């Protein structure tokens, strides 16, 4: 997925959909660039509720977004190393890394 948007637009939409999350990030504003920035960000992520970008952000905003098909592209969910290897193999590329199987055996193709 490729998302193209103005940051301001995403921020405003975020406030409409996730005010409990955006209010946490308002705390970060004053610490950006200071020695406290990392600790404030860590504290935010510790208490921030989890949300699904597609289901919880894009779906409710469907009247405000457009989808444009992209031809000649390949998509893969790279949530696991195996999927990266499958994608590389499908486009005729050899991975530069050994594939580690569940039994911790390394396989290089």
pLDDT digits (tens, 9 = 90+) for 59-102: 999 888 888 888 888 788 888 878 888 888 888 888 787 766 55
Cα separation, 42 vs 26, in Å, equals: 14
pTM for this prediction: 0.58
Outline where DSSP puts E strands in the chain: 99-100, 106-107
pLDDT of 107 over the 60 cut: no
pLDDT digits (tens, 9 = 90+) for 10-58: 999 999 999 999 999 888 888 999 999 999 999 999 999 999 988 999 9
pLDDT of residue 74: 79
- Contact in structure between 96 and 84 (CB atoms under 8 Å): no
């Amino acid at each position: 997925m490729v998302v193209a948007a103005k940051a301001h637009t995403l921020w405003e939409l975020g406030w409409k959909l996730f005010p409990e999350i955006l209010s946490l990030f308002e705390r970060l504003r004053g610490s950006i660039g200071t020695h406290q920035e990392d600790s404030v960000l860590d504290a935010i992520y510790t208490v921030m509720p989890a949300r699904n970008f597609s289901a919880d952000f894009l779906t409710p905003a469907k009247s405000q977004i457009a989808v444009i098909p992209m031809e000649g592209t390949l998509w893969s969910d790279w949530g696991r190393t195996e999927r990266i290897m499958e994608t590389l193999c499908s486009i005729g590329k050899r991975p530069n890394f050994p594939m580690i199987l569940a039994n911790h055996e390394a396989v290089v193709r």
